[in-house]
Every structure is written in structure tokens, then in C-alpha cells.
Amino acid sequence: MIEKTMVSLDEAIKIILEHTPTLMAERVSLNETLGRVLAEAIHSRRDHPPWDNSAMDGFAVRWQNICTASPESPARLKIVGESQAGSLPQCDVNPGEAVQIMTGAPTPNGADTVVRIEDCRIDGNWVVITNPGKQGANIRRLGEDVRQGQEVLAANTSVRPAEVGMLATAAYSSALVYQQPRVSVLTTGDELTEPGEALTLEKIINSNAYSIAAVVRESGAYAIQLDSAKDNKAELEEKMRQALTADVALVVGGVSLGKYDYVKEVLETLGCAIKFWRIAVRPGHPVVFGIIDGDQNDGMPKLLFGLPGNPVSCLVAFYEFVLPALRKMMGHQELFLPKVEAILEQDTRNRPGRTHFARAVAEYRDGDYYVRLTPDQGSGILTSMTLANCLAILDADRDFYAAGERITIQLLP
């Protein structure tokens, strides 16, 4: 029996996250770490840079030999060798000597300053310096970026391109990251046909299978797109069994109160414990959340979301309810779309009673975000999503917002 039916936005998120596990760790190669979350702290395996080195092309010298140089009384130093990136210097810099050095090359023993090539004149085997610059100039110190043994990345860090570079710098060719959930996408409805099939009048094109699989991939999880199911209990049951072999099953459509909306009934047959099936939000109010205990799945519970069939509703419900769960599974610390404040550009009526995620366009100018709603807010108007770059959050207890008011928006990826 379904006992809890309609829950608030906050309750829904609390219940979902309470039942959502973080997945186990796996080792992946360096190039596979982008977008993943570290399941281990990274300690550098060496100093970086591993030796003092030159930040410029020029001459490595002893400061003592050049500190008084001027155009009237230049310093003349004997060029005794060269230091280039990729090899260690072959000679030292003794008093009265200089070594020509390239950017990134190790500084030779004895040298404490590099003079830029632009500030030197070469005269046979001699270098002439008229402007000493600063003591210690143009030298990057051993370990100035990273010391061996230092924690350079904490566990639970999301890996961006800079972190990929840091893993490499720390001499890691692979890293432990959280696994990505496998997410099945099952669309339902007698009316569905696929793009590319012959178009008949009684059918609509199954756009949700593609948009929902896309939003799953966008989140960093694996999408498994199943063939859509007809509104018939036996077929739905068979396909839902298949969907429930994944870590997370998304069943799209068939969750409202229509005569042929069988999803909830079939879920109960399959032993899925339904936690709620309506959330006080608009769009996307019929959202089912259920779990199947983890006995057959390494102790990991499986999650099931029933999303409404309207093309806008299922996307908004995904961003608000499914995405946080997938991000928790993948080890992320930040689970939700980023929120910022924006100034409303137009008077806006709101139907109170439910939190409204209105599709909107935000623009950053003169130090503020300005936001206006897209013209048609119907839950079947997919254009409202293609035009939007954010969702404007309108409170359940407000029926009107005046132009100029500050509201909260959530930026879409």
C-alpha cells in the first residue's frame, strides 16, 4: 500500500538522499579521471620542480660578479657551458663564469641568478652584462609548487583538467575514483514512435528516451537506453525487470493517475518499496521514488525513479531529484545545480501551492544576473527548455513577483 503520497520539495530530497548509497571505488587510468571524484587522497611522489631551474632563456651567473654592472662598467663573464631542458648541467659556474641556460633547464651549481638573454650581449666566448637586474632573479625553486609527500589533492575532489595535470605532476598514472552508476532509461506509452521511423498521425516521437539518456550522460553516469514499453501491464513488468538490473532505473511516463498509468502498480509487484509518488513542485509533480534492497547487488540498494512523461517535466524532475542522487553515488560533495540570485526583469504571476521551477533566461551584466521567464511555460513545451539557461525558483506561497525583485535561480549545465 502506498502511504506517503505527496511530499514537499525538501522532504523529497531528504528521502532520496537518505536511501542513496555512494558507490565503491575503482582504479582508472589518468586520462579516465576527468569528471570523476577521487576516492583517495593524492600525495606527491616527487618534488616539483625537482631542481632549481630557469624561468627565462639567458645566462646563469653569480650575483657577486654582476651586482655592480652598468653601461659604463659592464660585467664580462666567460661562457663555460650550456644548460638545456632535459639534461643536468655539465659544469658549475665558478667566479667570473656564466652558463647559457634555456627556460626550464636546471640551474648549474654556483649560479644564483639568471639574466635574461635580452639583457646580455654575446662577444665570442664572453657575455657582457650592463644591467644586473635583481639578485636571485628568474630562478624557480626546487619544490616551490609541490613537495614530495605533500597532499596535493584531497579525497572527494572532483577532477577537472587542472587536477588531471596535478595527478600527472604527482607521478600518478592512475587513481582511485568512485564508480559511475549504470542508469537505465525506460520510456512508456502506446503513442510513442522513434525518430527516423515512418510518421503516423496517432503517434508522437519519443523524445524523452533521448533527452533523458543525454542528461544521464551529462551527469557523468552511464545511460542504458531500453526499447520503450507499451501501456500494458505484462510488457511493462518485463521491461521494468530489465530496467531494474541497473543501479538506477528511470521509468518515464505512465506515473500519473490515468487509466493506463501502470508504473506504480507494476513496481509493487516487483517488490519495489515506494517512498513517495508525488512532490509539491511544478512542473513534474508526479515523481515516484522507490528502492529495492541490496541483497542481490553487493548490498547496494537500487533506486527507481518514475518521472512524468511531459518532456519538460521529466527534464526538470531529473535535474532536481535524480541528478543529486547520481552525484552522491559518484562521490560528489556538491549535489545540486548551482544557485545564484538574479533580478527579475518582468512582473510575474505564479500559481501558488507548489514550488515552481520556471524556465528562464539569465544574463550577467553590470555585476548582477538579470532573469526573464521564457514565453510559454507549458510542461509539454520543450522549446521552453531549449531557450532556457536557468530555472527560476518561484515559492509555493507567492502568487506574484514584481519586476526588480531578487529571486533565486539555478543555472542549467
Binding site for Mg ion (CB under 5 A): 189, 253-254, 309
Residues 302 and 220: their CA atoms lie apart, in Å, by 18
The answer to whether 192 contacts ligand AMP (rule: CB under 6 A) is yes
Bridge partners (DSSP) listed for residue 325: none
Shortest CB 251 distance to Mg ion, Å: 11
- Least Å from the CB of residue 192 to ligand AMP: 5
Q: Does 191 bind ligand AMP (CB under 6 A)?
A: yes
Query: Counting contacts by CB under 6 A, is residue 204 touching ligand AMP?
Result: yes
DSSP string covering 365-380: ETTEEEEEE-S---TT
32 contacts which partner out of Mg ion, ligand AMP, none, CB within 5 to 8 A by kind? Answer: none
- Contact pick of 103, 150, 156, 207 for ligand AMP (by CB under 6 A): 207
Q: Is residue 184 involved in binding ligand AMP (CB under 6 A)?
A: no
Nearer to Mg ion, 20 or 206 (CB): 206
Closest CA to 307 of 282, 274, 284, 276: 284
**For Mg ion, which is the closer residue by CB, 254 or 306?**
254
Which among 145, 64, 60, 65 is positioned nearest to 103, based on CA atoms? 60
> Does 309 interact with ligand AMP (rule: CB under 6 A)?
yes
Residue closer to ligand AMP by CB (options 65, 256) is: 256
Q: How far is the CB of 393 from ligand AMP (least distance, A)?
A: 23
DSSP-derived secondary structure for 255-322: -SSSTT--HHHHHHHTT-EEEESEESEES----EEEEE-GGGTTTPPEEEEEE-SSHHHHHHHIIIII
Quick one: what does residue 208 bind among ligand AMP, Mg ion, none, with the CB cut-off 5 to 8 Å set by partner type? Answer: ligand AMP
Query: Based on CB atoms, which residue is closest to ligand AMP, 36 or 264?
Result: 264
Taking the complex as a whole, the smallest distance from the CB of residue 323 to ligand AMP amounts, in Å, to 19
Residue from 206, 348, 355, 410 that binds ligand AMP (CB under 6 A)? 206
Helix (H) or strand (E) holding 13: helix 9-18
Q: Three-state DSSP class for 157?
A: coil
If residue 204 lies in a helix (H) or strand (E), which one and from where to where?
strand 204-205
Distance of closest approach, residue 360 Cβ to ligand AMP, in angstroms: 22
Cα torsion for 86, 88, 92, 97, to the nearest 10°? -10
Other residues' Cβ atoms within 10 Å of the Cβ of residue 102: 16
* Cell digits of residue 169: 605532476
Q: Toward Mg ion, which CB reaches closer, 181 or 189? A: 189
Residue closer to ligand AMP, measured from CB, 77 or 209: 209
What is the x/- site pattern for ligand AMP, positions 237-256, by CB under 6 A? ---------------xxx-x
Identity of the residue, 192 or 244, whose beta carbon is nearer to ligand AMP in the bound complex: 192
Cβ atoms 342, 368 nearer than 8 A: yes
Please state, in angstroms and rounded to a whole number, the distance separating the CA atoms of residues 390 and 216. Answer: 18
Where do contacts with ligand AMP occur on this chain (CB under 6 A)? Answer: 187, 189, 191-192, 204, 206-209, 252-254, 256, 258, 308-311
